[in-house]
Structure 1
Amino acid sequence: MRLVVRTFSELCLTFGTLIVLFVVYVLYWTGVQAGSASAGQIDTLQREWTNTPVTAAPAPRALPYAPGRGIAVMYVPRLGEDWKWPVLEGTGAHVLKKGLGHYTATARLGGTGNFAVAGHRRTYGDPFKDFPRLRAGDAVILTDGTTWFTYRIARAPYRTVPTDVGVVDPVPRPLRKNAAVFDGPGRYLTLTTCDPEWGSSHRLVVWAHLDATLPVADGRPQALESRPQAWGS
């Protein structure tokens, strides 16, 4: 009996240790990995942009983005002064470990249609942890090294199910018709993440429209320099 109790105790301790290590990995180490990977992606993009002459913004190119490659850097002032993440092509698990992911079948940045982007709510740096704080009128700003694109959010986050794929249509068409915010073609942005915070049974979605563009040579957009009212609340 003593041997059985001792063996059971050792198994419990081993199992408990494994659980603690897993929690540390999920809560801490994936964030360290994502921070390093995203910073590396931004550095790579900035080096590429530095070696490319800055000119007036061209029309969006028709060529598809290369899978897994960096496209742009995104800033959302509502989510923090230092919040910035790279946007890469694709939404596979290996891509979302490095930053945000562009849905491959959706429009190019700044182009007509819907430039749709996914990101983790939790783990891998928690890029969209504060997604529910987003509000109508908030700016989402992206740059591809040549142009600043400022989008404005049209409504507070919309909660839906993973099968509601119409949210990333060229003109977003959610299952709940009364949730639609656009009624015709335009230059749109969609952001998606999981809900609840530590689950994936649902999705949170925000839609935005292109509000302004600015050549990088002309400086930074005003929306990037000003904090939203009640920032951080």
Structure 2
Amino acid sequence: MRVIVRTVSELCVTVGAVILLFVVYVLFWTGVKADRVMDGQIEELQEQWAHQQPARPSGGDPAASGTESAPAVTVTPRAPANSRATDAPVAPGQAAPYRDGKAFAIMYIPRLGSTWNKPVLEGTTTSTLKKGLGHYAGTAGLGQPGNFSVAGHRRTYGDPFKDFPELRRGDAVVLTDGATWFTYRIDRGPYKTVPTDVEVIDPVPRKSGYTRPGRYLTLTTCDPEWGHSHRLIVWAHLDSTQPVEAGQPEALRR
């Protein structure tokens, strides 16, 4: 009996230690590694931009898809008739496709902190989302007509969208591809939906309030904070663009 009790006790201690180590790995170490990777992605982009003009894909109707990995969410926004996105300036640049798994832009969201900036990569696979935010393949290019849609983890792998629920209408979401600054303004969100709602990344998402074609942005992440049974969505319209040579946009100078 003593041998049985001792053995069971040792097994419990071992299992407890393994669980503790796993929690530390998930909560801490994946974040440390992801922060290093994301910083590296940004440094590579900035170095690339210093030597060449970044390529930008041409516009085109983005196709909604429900095959993305867990953090990738799809909800359909409907644009208000008075949305300025339709009248936003056309983004300059030579058309070219984004490369799968490669970073092509940097996103800034002042609401989430003055030091918050994340690389945006093409695709929403698990391996891609470990390195930053992921652009839904098939949706519009940055600043182009349609719906530029991006997914990100809420927790683990750097917690890029940990404070996603704090986003509010009117908040700025600023992106750059090294040649142009793109400032989007949030119109609706965070909106809660289920992963099977694959219309969030439609060219004109139905539940966004948008009613006509424009230049839109959709951000998606998981909900609840440590689960993925639902998705949180934010919709925005392209408010303005300006060349990088003109300096940072006003939203980043406040």
Fold equivalence (TM over 0.5): yes
What TM-score does the superposition give when structure 2 sets the normalisation length? 0.84
> What's the CA shift for 1:52?
1.8
Residue of structure 2 in register with 1:67 after alignment: 100
Matches within 5 A, 1:29-68: 29-52=29-52, 59=92, 61-68=94-101
**Could you list the per-position Cα deviations for residues 188-226 of structure 1 after superposition, in whole angstroms to 9, with x for gaps in the alignment?**
000000000000000000000000001000100000111
Of the candidates 101, 106, 117, which is equivalent to residue 134 of structure 2? 101
The Cα of 1:37 is off from its aligned counterpart by 0.4
Q: Is the 8 A contact 2:136 2:151 kept in 1?
A: yes
Deviation per residue, 1:51-106 (Å, 9 max, x gap): 1269xx96354432110111100000000110000000000010110100000010
TM-score when normalising by structure 1: 0.91
| CA positional deviation for 1:155 | 1.5
Alpha-carbon distance in structure 2 between the residues aligned to 1:46 and 1:180: 33
User: 2:190 matched to 1:152?
Assistant: no
Q: 2:225 aligns with which of 194, 197, 212?
A: 197
Answering whether residue 249 of structure 2 is matched by residue 221 of structure 1, we say yes
Q: What count of residue pairs does the alignment treat as equivalent?
A: 219
Distance in 2 (CA, whole Å) between partners of 1:136 and 1:53 is: 33
Query: What is the CA distance between 1:181 and its match in structure 2?
Result: 1.6
Q: Does 1:181 align with 2:214?
A: no
Identical pairs, percent: 65
Q: Distance in 1 between matches of 2:154 and 2:234?
A: 14
CA contact (8 A) 1:60 1:108 kept: no
Cα separation, 2, equivalents of 1:71 and 1:161: 29
SS of the aligned residue for 2:199 comes to helix
| CA distance in 2 between partners of 1:53 and 1:7 (Å) | 65
2:223 is matched by which residue type in structure 1? D
Q: Which has the higher contact order (CA 8 A, sep 6+)?
A: 2
Q: Which residue of 2 aligns with 1:211?
A: 239
In the other structure, the counterpart of 2:14 is: 14
User: Structure 1 residue 83 and structure 2 residue 130: aligned?
Assistant: no
CA contact (8 A) 2:91 2:144 kept: no
Query: Which string of whole-angstrom CA distances, capped at 9 and with x for unpartnered residues, describes residues 90-138 of structure 1?
Result: 0001011010000001000000000000000000010000000000000
Inter-partner Cα distance in structure 2 for 1:68 and 1:79: 25
Mark the CA change 1:48 to 1:165 in structure 2 (over 3 Å): closer, same or farther: same
Residue 24 of structure 1 corresponds to 24
User: For 2:221 and 2:93, how far apart are their aligned partners in 1?
Assistant: 26
Instruction: Tell me how far apart the structure 2 counterparts of residues 62 and 225 of structure 1 sit (CA, whole Å).
Output: 30
Q: What code does the residue aligned with 2:20 have?
A: V
Aligned residue in 2 for 1:229 = none
Structure 1 unmatched runs, 5+? 174-178, 227-233
